[in-house]
């Protein structure tokens, strides 16, 4: 394999970009694109769609040395099927699209791996049951009731995996991968939690690993000469409820190594684990100790790793230190498919960082196709309407508001050739996200990176920024007809009028004032509204020593939080001893505190020296009426339409930017 002269970033990251080898296949670098679960872009009966092919063409061109196609279930009944639109590989009829994907990967100069995914405990999505080693009740109610897999079914399942691997190679893939990540069938056999069998497949670690060893042996026999990857937990995070210890996880890795696997992908966590593994509340590099242990134990087996390791610079250093052999990365390249190219060209400052919001998983858990907060084009690669193309008519565009929606729209429109000016009433980019990010307990730097990205890209693409400028009817009249189009991205506000009927409403403090640092709360705080704004402020204040109580009219807190992060806020509320009065509303506010009444009419008095209104939110829509007869085109996006979250803001800003 010939290698061109190293680009500037490749010279700075020489360990990451040095050539490698996977089995008998040379790789141009030490980066492995991970399968990243499934996309849900395909048909209900397992066929790959044009939407998926378009996505995989983009993935093939990411610049990775190894690329893993998403997991396919191997059985005709669908007991291994985890997602409504998961791809299948139990019959030769599926092969033409797999051949296309393998060709995309090879044409881009990468080595192609096909993952085989039997979901086990999390499978049988079209059936009324799932298969497990033992009948262990589900801890998450949306999964199917379990049935114990018989020995005959075990043998058939092993054969189905081997047949799927053989089909993968016949379709043009160079190697295959089986996965236990997230608690799928392989993990179910390996784990004490779900494997309570008393036969030769259960009991000791040796017995629990028998299914895995048979699986490895069958695949290697079916695909001689083609390398095999196995994804195994370094930590299940399930030991609190009867799962494996880390020591047991590594004993199972040893079994896989003894069976001759070519690569171990070290993973972390199950779907039902009571702690986070890949969310933004986990610091980058937190799980590296697992790959260090694996590499030390198995120096002659390739180790791939990337759990909560989104940074190429950090990955380069880890490889240099011998912590793993291949950087396995997925979600950071959902956020920015050009990540590797930007690293190679020394343009990492332009990267759209994966912020770990896990909207991708949230959508999968709701049986929807996945998308990405930071990449509005993900899943729409097949649609020309989502491509950034030169504008037919170059226009002068004004954008009101420099939050995520406004900046996404402005930068996208500018890339198409429009002359764009953003008017912002404060002195910097960020909008409401800025205050929210600075109080975030998970990882403020991830959220603040969104703002930094917009600052860099606005400058690069020539977006003119007008700060400390209040847009209103008088302002608009002063520049009448200077612009062809106006985008209202003025965000949302706390609806303080919703509390005007309360005795003592004048004592209320607007949450946005607190978030911006313009008001300093006292030591005893009541927060009205336990949505994400109220939760973030409550958590931040409690962390700094305040005694905080949340008051929420709904039955539960975190109503507007993404499904994959609700549990994290609930855990923080408990850890920080934050009081939560649900199905409740304020009745009276005084200098001493707040009188709260619940749905039963029962009153509670909560002492407080500060009362913060964190909801409801109201869209800033007044400009639509004021500007209606002042400009040729009037558009809106983000919270100015309906108050929601950063993912909706960025998606809408982009969609508007590509069509103005």
For residues 341 and 197, state if they share a domain: yes
- In angstroms, rounded to a whole number, what is the distance separating the alpha carbons of residues 477 and 631? 10
| Residue 480, token pair as written in the block | 């009448």
What's the pLDDT score for residue 640? Answer: 97
For residues 229 and 332, state if they share a domain: yes
For residues 525 and 483, state if they share a domain: no
Burial of 83 (0-12, 13-18, 19+ CB in 10 A): buried
For residues 280 and 222, state if they share a domain: yes
115 in a structural domain: yes
What's the pLDDT score for residue 2? Answer: 52
Tell me the residue range of the domain where 348 lies. 8-364
248 in a structural domain: yes
Tell me: cis bond preceding 616? Omega within 30 of 0 counts: yes
The candidate with the shortest Cα–Cα distance to 307, out of 271, 266, 348, 272, is 266
379 in a structural domain: no
Dump the DSSP string for 571-636. Answer: HHHHHTT-EEE-SEEEEEE-SSEEEEEETTS-EEEEE-SEEEE---EEE--HHHHHHTTT-SEEEE
Instruction: Write the CA distances from 212 to 153, 154, 178, 209, 219, integer angstroms.
Output: 14, 11, 10, 5, 11
CATH number, residue 36: 3.20.20.70
378 in a structural domain: no
For residues 20 and 93, state if they share a domain: yes
CATH number, residue 514: 3.50.50.60
Number of domains in the chain: 3
What's the pLDDT score for residue 460? Answer: 98
Q: Phi/psi of residue 298, each to 5°? A: -125, 65
What's the pLDDT score for residue 609? Answer: 96
For residues 197 and 70, state if they share a domain: yes
For residues 465 and 318, state if they share a domain: no
**Total residues found in the chain within this entry:** 660
For residues 626 and 611, state if they share a domain: no
The answer to whether the CB of 58 falls within 8 A of the CB of 102 is: no
H helix intervals, 229-320: 246-258, 288-297, 312-320
486 in a structural domain: yes
Instruction: List, for the chain, all residue ranges whose pLDDT scores fall below the cut of 70.
Output: 1-4
For residues 631 and 613, state if they share a domain: no
Instruction: Write the CA distances from 141 to 102, 146, 177, 658, integer angstroms.
Output: 37, 12, 29, 41
For residues 432 and 505, state if they share a domain: no
The candidate with the shortest Cα–Cα distance to 397, out of 484, 459, 489, is 484
646 in a structural domain: yes
For residues 339 and 434, state if they share a domain: no
Instruction: Write the CA distances from 514 to 451, 510, 529, 536, 570, integer angstroms.
Output: 20, 7, 14, 11, 22
Look at the block and give the residue holding tokens 């995070």.
237
Total-model pTM: 0.94
- In angstroms, rounded to a whole number, what is the distance separating the alpha carbons of residues 113 and 302? 15
For residues 187 and 304, state if they share a domain: yes
419 in a structural domain: yes
Q: Which residues contact 436 (CB under 8 A, 6 or more apart)?
A: 447, 515, 532, 533, 536
What's the pLDDT score for residue 1? Answer: 46
| Residue 348, token pair as written in the block | 């990492």
- In angstroms, rounded to a whole number, what is the distance separating the alpha carbons of residues 508 and 383? 48
């Amino acid at each position: 394999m010939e290698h061109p002269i190293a680009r500037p970033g490749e010279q700075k990251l020489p360990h990451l970009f040095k050539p490698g080898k996977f089995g008998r296949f040379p790789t141009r670098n030490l980066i492995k694109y991970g399968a990243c679960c499934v996309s849900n872009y395909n048909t209900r009966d397992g066929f790959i769609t044009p939407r998926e092919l378009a996505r995989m063409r983009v993935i093939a061109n990411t610049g990775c040395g190894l690329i893993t196609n998403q997991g396919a279930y191997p059985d005709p009944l669908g007991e291994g099927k985890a997602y409504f639109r998961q791809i299948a590989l139990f019959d030769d009829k599926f092969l033409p699209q797999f051949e296309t994907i393998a060709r995309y990967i090879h044409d881009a100069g990468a080595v192609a791996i096909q993952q085989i995914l039997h979901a086990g405990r999390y499978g049988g999505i079209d059936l009324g049951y799932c298969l497990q080693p033992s009948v262990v009740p589900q801890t998450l109610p949306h999964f199917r009731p379990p049935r114990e897999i018989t020995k005959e079914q075990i043998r058939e399942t092993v054969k189905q995996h081997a047949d799927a691997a053989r089909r993968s190679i016949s379709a043009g893939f160079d190697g295959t991968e089986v996965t236990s990540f997230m608690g799928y069938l392989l993990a179910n056999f390996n784990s004490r939690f779900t494997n309570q069998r008393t036969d030769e497949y259960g009991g000791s670690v040796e017995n629990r690993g028998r299914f895995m060893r048979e699986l490895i042996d069958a695949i290697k026999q079916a695909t001689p000469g083609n390398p095999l990857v196995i994804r195994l937990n370094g930590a299940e995070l399930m030991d609190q409820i009867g799962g494996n210890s880390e020591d047991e996880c590594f004993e199972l890795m040893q079994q896989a190594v003894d069976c001759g696997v070519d690569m171990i992908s070290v993973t972390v966590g199950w779907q039902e684990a009571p702690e986070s593994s890949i969310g933004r509340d986990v610091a980058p590099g937190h799980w590296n100790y697992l790959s260090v242990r694996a590499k030390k134990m198995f120096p002659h087996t390739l180790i791939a790793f990337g759990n909560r390791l989104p940074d190429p610079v950090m990955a380069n250093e880890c490889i240099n230190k011998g912590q793993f052999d291949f950087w396995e990365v997925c979600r950071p390249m959902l956020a920015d498919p050009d990540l590797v190219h930007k690293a190679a060209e020394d343009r990492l400052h332009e990267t759209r960082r994966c912020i770990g919001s896990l909207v991708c998983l949230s959508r999968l858990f709701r049986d929807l196709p996945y998308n990405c907060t930071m990449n509005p084009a993900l899943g729409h690669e097949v649609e020309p309407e989502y491509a950034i193309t030169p504008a037919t008519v170059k226009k002068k565009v004004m954008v009101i508001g420099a939050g995520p929606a406004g900046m996404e729209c402005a930068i996208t429109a500018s890339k198409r050739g429009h002359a764009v000016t953003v008017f912002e009433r404060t002195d910097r980019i960020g909008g409401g996200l800025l205050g929210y990010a600075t109080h975030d307990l998970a990882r403020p730097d991830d959220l603040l990176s969104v703002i930094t990205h917009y600052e860099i890209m606005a400058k690069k693409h020539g977006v003119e920024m007008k700060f400390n400028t209040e847009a209103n009817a008088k302002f608009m009249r002063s520049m009448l007809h200077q612009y062809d189009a106006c985008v209202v991205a003025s965000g949302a506000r706390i609806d303080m009028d919703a509390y005007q009927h309360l005795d003592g409403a004048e004592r209320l403090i607007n949450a946005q004032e607190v978030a911006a640092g313009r008001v300093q709360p006292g030591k005893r705080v009541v927060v009205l509204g336990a949505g994400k704004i109220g939760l973030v402020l409550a958590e931040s204040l409690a962390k700094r020593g305040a005694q905080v109580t949340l008051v929420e009219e709904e039955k539960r807190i975190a109503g507007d939080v993404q499904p994959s992060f609700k549990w994290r806020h609930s855990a923080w509320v408990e850890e920080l001893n934050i009081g939560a009065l649900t199905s409740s509303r304020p009745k009276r506010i005084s200098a001493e505190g707040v009188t709260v009444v619940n749905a039963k009419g029962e009153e509670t008095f909560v002492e407080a020296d500060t009362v913060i209104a964190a909801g409801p939110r109201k869209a800033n829509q007044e400009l639509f009426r004021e500007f209606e007869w002042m400009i040729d085109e009037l558009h809106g996006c983000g919270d100015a339409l309906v108050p929601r979250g950063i993912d909706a803001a960025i998606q809408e800003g982009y969609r508007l930017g590509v069509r103005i």
